Structures are given as structure tokens and as C-alpha cells.
Structure 1
């Protein structure tokens, strides 16, 4: 039997790094619209909803065809609200689904191929969770903490590797796609466990907008992609 899949877009109004970023114009449409439009193309997602406490964001999401079945309680839209809390709340408001796909609107370069690819990876693996990752620009093997202005390797090595080709491959969360089995999410209250499977995405689709510079870079990449197509 084909599993029932609920996709959730979390978008609160209180962004600090880029004010009102979820509805800021990005290459001709609100940031959140890029995620809504790609999610609606999925061949696996049965229902796409927004969770937000912000009336303006809700209005924009509905304009682009995203369902908003409830308004998020303000206490779940604070700076210190854990990211899983709005997901748990949405699951309770919309019961009856086997899997949840979390799609943050700050990943405008993520496409339906990435969304469906992550879902397919999870279903094929038999795991309860799958999240998207990418290779970081800088390897953690070349990162340091500071103690009294002295450099302390973040990941101590017997011998310092000086050639990138010799470094162990590392991956970082890119924030684009999180998929989990509903029962496991309710139990673990996280998408990240020792059993979580990775779905690897390329760097050029892995930008997570957190600063004004991120907005500029993504705008240029989206316009370039549009010209190529």
C-alpha cells in the first residue's frame, strides 16, 4: 500500500537575520513560493500545509496554493522554539499520515527531484528518517577552536593532512529536506538519530538563506538558472 505523506512548510514571521525573509522577493516571487511550487510537483506528497503564526505569510502561502489548515500558536513561534515543536504540533492537527516531509522555505534552490529523491531514499533504506546533506566548503579536519589565542584542532589527527584529496569525505546538514516516519518522529522527537539515512545534494542547490548575502547569491543563481532554461 502506498504510504500517506504530509509535507510541512514552517514559516514564522520573526526572522532576525533577514527581516520578513519568508515573503521577501527573490528573483520575482516571495521566497516561500519557491518551496511551495516544487513541493506541489511531488509524486509522493499527498498533502502540503503551512504552519505559521503570521497572517501575511499565511496569505502569501495560500496565494501560491499551499493549504493552511490552522494558525500556529504564538508560543510555538519564538526565537527559542525548538524546530521540531511546530512539526509535532502539525502532526497532531493533521493526523492519519505515515510520513512527514519537512521543507524549510529558506532552501529556494531545492527542487522536486531533491524532495522525491529524499523520500525514495528513505523508503528504499527501510530507515525511519532521511535528511539532505551536502559536502561543506571547509573540512572540519581543517577547523580549530581557540584556547588563549592558541589553535586547537577540532578533530585531532596523528598527522596533519595538507592535501584536500586525502581528507575523509564529510557531510553537513543543508536544511533542505527532512523526511521521517510519523510514529518515529513522535517517539524520538527529532529527525536526527544514529539510524538516520543521508540524501546527498550538490552544493549549488544547498544554500540555506540566513543572511542578506545568502539572498544575493541565491537571487543570482536562480536568475542564471532561468536564463539557461
Structure 2
């Protein structure tokens, strides 16, 4: 795998669902620090926090991340993630004097990644020959839609037992937690996904995305459960 993989962690100060959520404490540490520490624990990965916010920058720098000063025009409510990642790639390229072959995009609001997850992602990406990889968790296959007509998205006439579900029948939910992408895909498609796309299947515990106050409660419960299973360090 490449020696150097920047992990870009976008973090705006103007979060709407939960005020200042990126620095809100989760089990005693700011939310964004969980992701920074996971990146720092992964060989070859260097965390870069892209932010326009002084407090987020200070907290992230103290945790060991490098800071990318995000222009105000890339920190609006309607700013997509891709221009932010592309800006980060440009900054990293100037600072390092070389363009990274690939970039990891980590979401700060997904604090629960088990020990070794990011390293496993790098290994699977290198082995697969993929151009981009998306983090997913197994999802319910017994799904229905109601418009324009009621329709099952599984063979309800011969309902499979869960233990008999085949690989072809499996479905997965994109978590937003992590993406790994060759930098030329951003250049050509301006998208985190493109070319040959592969799935990176994560543990269901890792599927949490904090978007509301109650999600912090759920995340704390999951972190305690993971710590009990010795999957993440105990605090």
C-alpha cells in the first residue's frame, strides 16, 4: 500500500442539527478527536482536519491532526463534500511536494470504528485494484416500497430464512463513515466514488452517524459495548 495516505476530516463550525457537535464531548473527549486518533493509530495515514473554525482547529491540532484552513466559500450550509476534499488534496500536494495516490475521507460524526478498521480498508483497497471504496454495513433485505405501487424488494413468495440469505441477496447501507479514493477519480469525476467501486464491509457497530442529540446517547452505549468486547481502547 502507498506509504502516505492523507485522511481528510471535514469539520464545519456551523453545524445545524447539534450546535458545535464536532467538539461536543463524547465519553470525555471531543467528537472529532475519536476520528483523529483512529487515523493516527493507522500506519501510513496522516489526519488532516479541514475547517474554517478556530476552536475546531485548536482541538484537532492538540489531538495530533494537521489543519487545512478551509475558505469561507467552502464552509457554507450547501457546500458539498467533494470540493472540500479536492481543496484538501491541493493543499496536501503543495505541502508535501507530491500528489498523494489516494485519499481517505473520514466523517467526524462517525466516531465508532473498531481497532484495525482503517488499516483493513487500506489493505483491501490495495488488494482489490479498486478506484474507490465505500464503507457499508449489512442492511435489512426485507424492504418494501409503496409508490407508485406496493412492491417487495425480496422474494416474499419464498421468504428466505436469515441464515439462508445468499451473497447475491445481501444488501448494504452506505454509512458515510469512510471512503477511500484514488485522487485521479476526484480530478476526473469530482466525486468520492467513481471508476471501479468496491464495498468495504464494516461491523454493524460502526454504522452510527451522529446527527441529533439522541445519537450521542446511542453512540456512548455502542462505545461502551465495543470497549467491553475489547474492540476499542477503554477510557
Superposition TM-score tier, normalisation by shorter sequence: 0.7 to 0.9
List structure 1 runs of 4+ shifted beyond 6 angstroms.
none
> How is 1:194-213 mapped onto 2 (pairs within 5 angstroms)?
195-213=196-214
What does residue range 1-229 of structure 1 map to in structure 2 within 5 Å?
2-45=2-45, 47-68=46-67, 70-95=68-93, 96=98, 97-136=100-139, 138-139=140-141, 141-146=142-147, 152-153=150-151, 155=153, 160=157, 162-163=159-160, 165=162, 168-193=169-194, 195-227=196-228, 229=230
Deviation at 1:29, TM superposition (A): 0.5
CA deviation map 1:29-74 (0-9, x unaligned): 10001001110011121x3211011111111111111111x31011
Task: Give the stretch that moved more between structures: 3-12 or 48-57.
Answer: 3-12
Q: Which runs of 5+ in 2 are unaligned?
A: 231-235
CA deviation profile, 1:131-189 (whole Å, cap 9, x unmatched): 211112x33x5232445xxx63374x675554553662101111122111112221121
SS of residue matched to 1:134: strand
Q: Distance in 2 between matches of 1:227 and 1:125?
A: 33
Give, in angstroms, the shift of residue 209 of structure 1: 1.1
**TM-score, normalised with respect to structure 2:** 0.85
Equivalent-residue separation in structure 2 for 1:193 and 1:82 (angstroms): 16
Q: What's the offset of the Cα at 1:197? A: 0.8
Q: Give the superposed CA RMSD.
A: 2.2
Structure 1 residues without counterparts, runs of 5 or longer: none
Give the secondary-structure state (helix, strand or coil) at the position aligned to 2:69: coil
What do residues 98-127 of structure 1 show as CA deviations (whole Å, max 9, x unaligned)? 110111111111135111111111111111
Residues 175 and 208 in structure 2, CA contact (< 8 A), matched pair in contact too: yes
For these two proteins, the number of residue pairs brought into alignment is 221
Q: TM-score, normalised by structure 1?
A: 0.87
